[in-house]
Amino acid sequence: MSKINIRQMTLISLFAALTAVGAFISIPLYPVPLTLQTLFTLLAAMTLGSDMAASSQIIYVFLGIIGLPVFAGFKAGIGILFGPTGGFLFGFIISAYVIGKIIEVKKEKNFFYYFLAGLSGMIIIYITGITQLSLVTGIGIKRALLIGALPFLPGDILKIIAASFIASKLKLINQLK
């Protein structure tokens, strides 16, 4: 991404803030809480495109690293990135970029296209999150899947549906270029 204008900067900041708000709306499960962060990560990617969406998630993670309590459970600090849930945070950035790239490929998009892009992004979040959860806790991949993915699947499918529906109605990405 080369030069960005004020509107793009505002949208990047808005989605970083929305992701933080999504962290506060949570159901505490251990070790991975159920939050709305992924909804806003998906929505950023589907509406802003790869560079801007990834930037919004980098800013979100950076705010947490420097000490603002923007992570789930009002947590902050670089230690969170190296803890059991840090892989999910890294996954937000990668996922936002990949979904955005998928969305940018096709000019005419429909709900189903957004859904498939969102599903691919959610898989990325799960891969990075489950891998780090397994490595940090030493519980193994199978157990990490049971506690870090299985309880979240129904809600995440609903988030993908919601983000796909909203994105298909907004079609903001076409207006940003």
Task: Report the run of H or E that residue 12 belongs to, with start and end.
Answer: helix 6-24
What pLDDT shows up at residue 28? Answer: 81
All structural domains of the chain, each given as residue ranges with its CATH number in brackets, are 6-172 (1.10.1760.20)
What pLDDT shows up at residue 175? Answer: 58
pLDDT along the chain (177 residues), means of 10: 87 97 87 90 96 98 97 95 96 98 93 97 98 96 94 95 94 56
What pLDDT shows up at residue 31? Answer: 76
SS3 27: strand
DSSP per residue over 42-93, as a string? Answer: HHHHHHH-HHHHHHHHHHHHHHHHTT---BGGGB-SGGGGGSTTHHHHHHHH
What pLDDT shows up at residue 139? Answer: 96
What pLDDT shows up at residue 171? Answer: 66
| 136 CB neighbour count, 10 Å cutoff | 16
